[in-house]
Structure 1
Amino acid sequence: MQFFKVKTVEETFALIEGNIPAIKQTEVRVLEEALHYILAEPVIAKENVPSFDRSTVDGYAVRAKDTYGSSESMPGFLTVTGEVKMGEVPTAKAGPGKAVYVPTGGMLPSGSDSVIMIEHCEEVDTLLNTYKQIAPGENVIRAGEDIREGETLLTAGTKLRPQELGALASLGVATVTVFRKLKVGYLSSGDEIVPYQTETLAEGQIRDINYLTISGLASEWNVDVLYGGIVRDDFEEFKQKARELYQHVDCLILSGGSSVGAKDYTTDVIQSLGDPGVFVHGISIKPGKPTILAMAGGKPVIGLPGHPASAMIIFKLFGEQILRKLKGERMERKLERVFARITKNIPSSPGRSDYIRVRLFEKEGEWWAEPIIGKSGLITTLVKSDGIVEISSEKEGISQGDYVPVISSR
C-alpha cells in the first residue's frame, strides 16, 4: 500500500503540531461551569491580590529590628498596644518597641513590617516576651505579591484547572471566554464486532470494547462523544456512515480496519472525506503501528488499531494531543509523567518506540514500575496497569533499576 510509510513518534507529534488547527468558536461561561475548558483570551488582573499587607500566621505585628538578639535565654521585650480584627482596618499601631496581635489573614497595622509567630513569644498582661529574632517581611504577604494589578494572570490557551478557577475567583472574575466544548464522533468497523451489551456471542464475534475505552478517555478530557455504531466491512456502507457522522462532529475516530489487508477500507474512506487527507499511515511504535491520522476538510480523523490495548495507548498518546490542539490548549504541557525505577530488564528494537504497560508501587521511599507483559489484544493488561513506560527509538532497551518516565493513567 502506497500510504503505509511509517513515521517515528517524534515525526508524528511534529505533524500533529503542524496540521491540526484550533477551533474558532468561543462561548462565555460562568466560572463554576468552566472547569477543564480552555481560555480563548487572556485575563488581565484589575486589582492587587491580596489588596492589603496581611499576616500568614497567628502572631504579633512588629518591627523586625525590635526582635534582633531575642532568644530563649535572652528574650526581648515589647509592649502590646492592641489587636487586629478580621475584616477590619486596624486602629492599633505598631512602632518602636510596640506589638499588635494579628490573626492569620489579618491586615498588617501601620508601623510594622513583619509578624512573629505566637509560638515564639509570650504575652504577660501588655508585655510581650520575644524568644526569636525575625527578618523584615517574615510571615507577611505584601499587597500585590500574589497577583499584581495590570499583569497577565492567564494567557489564551490555558486549561482551567481548579487552581486557575481559584485565582480567577480571587479577582472577582465571574465569567470567562473559552473555546466551546468539542464533539468527536466514534465509529467501529468489522464484521466480527457486535455491541458490548450482547449477552451471548456467536463463534468469531467480539464485543465492541473500544467504544467504551476511547469514549471514556475523551470524556475525561472534557470532550463529548457521538457514537456512530458499528459498520460492516463494506466500503460503501463504511463510507456513508463515516460521512454522516463526520458532518456532526469536530473530529472523527474510526476503530478497526487500519491494518494492511484485503479489508482495509479506512484510508480510502478518510481520503473521500476531504483534502488534504492522510498525513500519517503507520507509526514506528509497539503497540499501535497501523495508526492513521488525517485532516479532511478542516477536521482531524483518527484511524485506531482494532486491538483494545493498542487503540487505548495510541489514543492516549496521539489522540489526546490532537484534541488538545483542536480545543485551543497551549501545548507546552506534556502528558503527566512520574519517574520510577523499572523492576526488570526490557529489550527493545532500535528504530521503534516501545510502550510497556506497568504497575506502580512504592518500596523504601521510591516508586517502582513493574512491567505487565501481554499481547496488544489483551485489555486486562490495561486494567492491571497504572501507566505506560516509553522506550524511545534510539534505545535497545532498559535495564533493571533504571529510572524511567511513566505516563500515568491513574
Structure 2
Amino acid sequence: MQFFKVKTVEETYALIDEMIPSIQDVEVRSLEEALHYILAEPVAATENVPGFDRSTVDGYAVKAKDTYGSSESMPAFLTVIGEVKMGEGVRHHIGSSEAVYVPTGGMLPPDSDSVIMIEHCEDMDGLLNIYKQVAPGENIIRAGEDIRNGDLLLPEGTKLRPQELGALASLGVTHVRVYRKLKVGYLSSGDEIVPYQTKTLSTGQIRDVNYLAILGLASEWGVEVLYGGIVKDDISQFQQKARELYDQVDCLILSGGSSVGVKDYTIEVIEGLGEPGVFVHGISIKPGKPTILALADGKPVIGLPGHPASAMIIFKLFGERIVRKLQGEKIAKKPDRIFARMTKNIPSSPGRSDYIRVRLFELNGEWWAEPIIGKSGLITTLVKSDGIVEIASEKEGILQGENVPVIPSR
C-alpha cells in the first residue's frame, strides 16, 4: 500500500472540485419547503420590484428644486394637495410648489422626484413648512431599482436562504426546481469503539463520539445522515457493512482506520466499492494528516481520522466542500473565514498547513483569537473553541497581534 503521498490543502480542494460530481435528481418544491435546498436552474425576474416608484419614509412627495435653500431659519412653503393611501393608486399630479403626503412604501405621485421626511417639515392646515432641503431621488426607490424585469435574479447552484426565498416571493414565485436532499452514510470502525449510550466502559473502550459530531455538522448543512453503526476490526464484516450502507446513500463516511495500523482496512474496503477509488491518502495538515478521499462509481467516500478533534476539523474543511459540490451548490475556493488578531505567537512547520483551535472575543472593536492549547485528541478543545485558525503551509507561524483567517464554528 502506498501511503502518505500527501497532498497540500490547496491540491485537495482542487481534486475535490475536479473529481466530485453533482447529483442530477431534481424535484419541485414550494417556497415554504425549499429552505436550504439548492436551485437546479436559474431564476430570472419576470417583473420589476418594486413595480412602482415608492417612498422609503413617512413624508411628503415634492419636487426637490422647490426645497432648495430651505432651513430652520428660512423655510420653504409648499401647498399640500392631498395624500397617498397604501395599496391605492395616485390621484394627484404634483405641480410647482406642491406636495402630497406619502406613507412609507406608498406610491410616488407623478412629477415628484423626492420625499421630505415628516420630521423635517410641518403641515399648517395645508401650508407645508419645509425646514430642510432634499436632493432628487432622496428617500425614494424607483420602479425596478431592486429587481429589474428580465435580469438574472438567482443562478443555478444557489443555496436558498431566507433572503433568497423572500426575493423569489417578491416576484410571485411559488415553486422552484431544486436538487433533492442528500443522504450521507456514517460507519464507525474499531474494536475499542462502543455506542455513545454505553453507561459503563470496560478497559480500553471508547464511546462513539465522532458519530454525533459528524451528524451535527451534516445536519447543519441540510444533509440527512444514515447511521450504519459500529463495525469491529474484521475485514469481511467491514466490507459487508460498508457495502450495505454505500448502496443506500450518496456519500459514505468511514470513521477510524485511515492510518497504517495492521487492522486498518479502510483503503482495501474503499477500493472494493468501485472505481476510480482513492484519490487522496494523506493531507499535509495538522491535525488530520491520515485522511482518505475517494470516489467509488460516482459516490464520494471519506475516511476520517479517529480522533474527534481531527475528524471534525477534516470534515469541516473537506467534507463540507464535498457535500456542497455533490448537491450542486456553487462554492467559494475556500470555506468562509473571518479575520482576527492572534493573542500570542504560534509556531508552525513550513510545508504543512496547521489548523489551531481558538476562542474568539471582541476587544476595542476588533476580533481577537486566543489559542486553545491541547492535544489533537482532546474533545474539550473543541467545546472551548469558536473556530480554527489557518496557518498556511508556506508560513513558519503566527506573530502576536497578526491578523489571521479564522474558520468559525457554526
Per the normalisation by structure 2, the TM-score is: 0.99
For the pair 1:67 / 2:67, whether they are aligned, the reply is yes
Aligned to 1:114: 114
Provide the C-alpha distance between the structure 2 equivalents of 1:64 and 1:93, rounded to a whole number of angstroms: 15
Provide the C-alpha distance between the structure 1 equivalents of 2:332 and 2:144, rounded to a whole number of angstroms: 27
> 2:180 is matched by which residue type in structure 1?
R
4+ long deviations beyond 2 Å: 332-336
Aligned to 1:195: 195
For the pair 1:79 / 2:85, whether they are aligned, the reply is no
Provide the C-alpha distance between the structure 2 equivalents of 1:351 and 1:55, rounded to a whole number of angstroms: 58
Contact 2:183-2:224 at 8 Å conserved across structures: yes
Provide the C-alpha distance between the structure 1 equivalents of 2:318 and 2:149, rounded to a whole number of angstroms: 39
- Give, in angstroms, the shift of residue 334 of structure 1: 4.2
Contact 1:59-1:116 at 8 Å conserved across structures: yes
Aligned to 2:328: 328
Contact 1:186-1:254 at 8 Å conserved across structures: yes
> 1:177 is matched by which residue type in structure 2?
R
For the pair 1:262 / 2:250, whether they are aligned, the reply is no
> 1:38 is matched by which residue type in structure 2?
I
Question: Quick one: percent identity of the two aligned structures?
Answer: 80
> 2:102 is matched by which residue type in structure 1?
V
Relative distance call for 1:333 and 1:116 in structure 2 (3 A) is: farther
Contact 1:49-1:146 at 8 Å conserved across structures: yes
Deviations 1:34-70 (A, max 9, x none): 1110000011111110001000000100001111111
Deviations 1:335-381 (A, max 9, x none): 22221111000000000000000001111111111000111111110
Provide the C-alpha distance between the structure 2 equivalents of 1:379 and 1:317, rounded to a whole number of angstroms: 18
Contact 2:4-2:283 at 8 Å conserved across structures: no
Deviations 1:95-137 (A, max 9, x none): 2110000000000011211101111111111111111111111
> 1:384 is matched by which residue type in structure 2?
K
- Give, in angstroms, the shift of residue 147 of structure 1: 0.5
Provide the C-alpha distance between the structure 2 equivalents of 1:246 and 1:229, rounded to a whole number of angstroms: 13
Aligned to 2:250: 250
Provide the C-alpha distance between the structure 2 equivalents of 1:111 and 1:303, rounded to a whole number of angstroms: 67
Provide the C-alpha distance between the structure 2 equivalents of 1:325 and 1:339, rounded to a whole number of angstroms: 25
Aligned to 1:344: 344
Deviations 1:191-217 (A, max 9, x none): 000000000000000000000000110
Provide the C-alpha distance between the structure 2 equivalents of 1:332 and 1:402, rounded to a whole number of angstroms: 24
Provide the C-alpha distance between the structure 2 equivalents of 1:74 and 1:180, rounded to a whole number of angstroms: 64
Provide the C-alpha distance between the structure 1 equivalents of 2:237 and 2:399, rounded to a whole number of angstroms: 49
Provide the C-alpha distance between the structure 1 equivalents of 2:3 and 2:37, rounded to a whole number of angstroms: 36
Aligned to 2:223: 223
Contact 1:54-1:106 at 8 Å conserved across structures: yes
Aligned to 1:386: 386
Aligned to 2:31: 31
Aligned to 2:317: 317
Q: The residue matched to 1:273 in structure 2 has which SS?
A: coil
- Give, in angstroms, the shift of residue 186 of structure 1: 0.2
Provide the C-alpha distance between the structure 2 equivalents of 1:255 and 1:95, rounded to a whole number of angstroms: 75
- Give, in angstroms, the shift of residue 260 of structure 1: 1.3
Contact 1:187-1:231 at 8 Å conserved across structures: yes
Provide the C-alpha distance between the structure 1 equivalents of 2:16 and 2:333, rounded to a whole number of angstroms: 15
Provide the C-alpha distance between the structure 2 equivalents of 1:365 and 1:136, rounded to a whole number of angstroms: 36
Provide the C-alpha distance between the structure 1 equivalents of 2:279 and 2:169, rounded to a whole number of angstroms: 43
Aligned to 1:176: 176
Contact 2:79-2:98 at 8 Å conserved across structures: yes
Q: The residue matched to 2:407 in structure 1 has which SS?
A: strand
Please list every run of 5 or more consecutive structure 1 residues that lacks an aligned counterpart in the other structure: none
Relative distance call for 1:72 and 1:334 in structure 2 (3 A) is: farther
Contact 1:81-1:93 at 8 Å conserved across structures: no
Provide the C-alpha distance between the structure 2 equivalents of 1:332 and 1:82, rounded to a whole number of angstroms: 52
Q: The residue matched to 2:272 in structure 1 has which SS?
A: helix
- Give, in angstroms, the shift of residue 92 of structure 1: 2.4
Deviations 1:156-197 (A, max 9, x none): 000001100000010111000000000000000000000000
Provide the C-alpha distance between the structure 2 equivalents of 1:131 and 1:33, rounded to a whole number of angstroms: 50
For the pair 1:143 / 2:143, whether they are aligned, the reply is yes
Provide the C-alpha distance between the structure 2 equivalents of 1:65 and 1:106, rounded to a whole number of angstroms: 21
For the pair 1:232 / 2:232, whether they are aligned, the reply is yes
Provide the C-alpha distance between the structure 1 equivalents of 2:56 and 2:134, rounded to a whole number of angstroms: 14
CA RMSD of aligned residues (A): 0.9
> 1:366 is matched by which residue type in structure 2?
E
> 1:78 is matched by which residue type in structure 2?
L
Aligned to 1:123: 123
Please list every run of 5 or more consecutive structure 2 residues that lacks an aligned counterpart in the other structure: none
Q: The residue matched to 2:39 in structure 1 has which SS?
A: coil
Provide the C-alpha distance between the structure 1 equivalents of 2:46 and 2:304, rounded to a whole number of angstroms: 47
Per the normalisation by structure 1, the TM-score is: 0.99
- Give, in angstroms, the shift of residue 332 of structure 1: 2.9
Between stretches 249-258 and 125-134, larger displacement belongs to 125-134
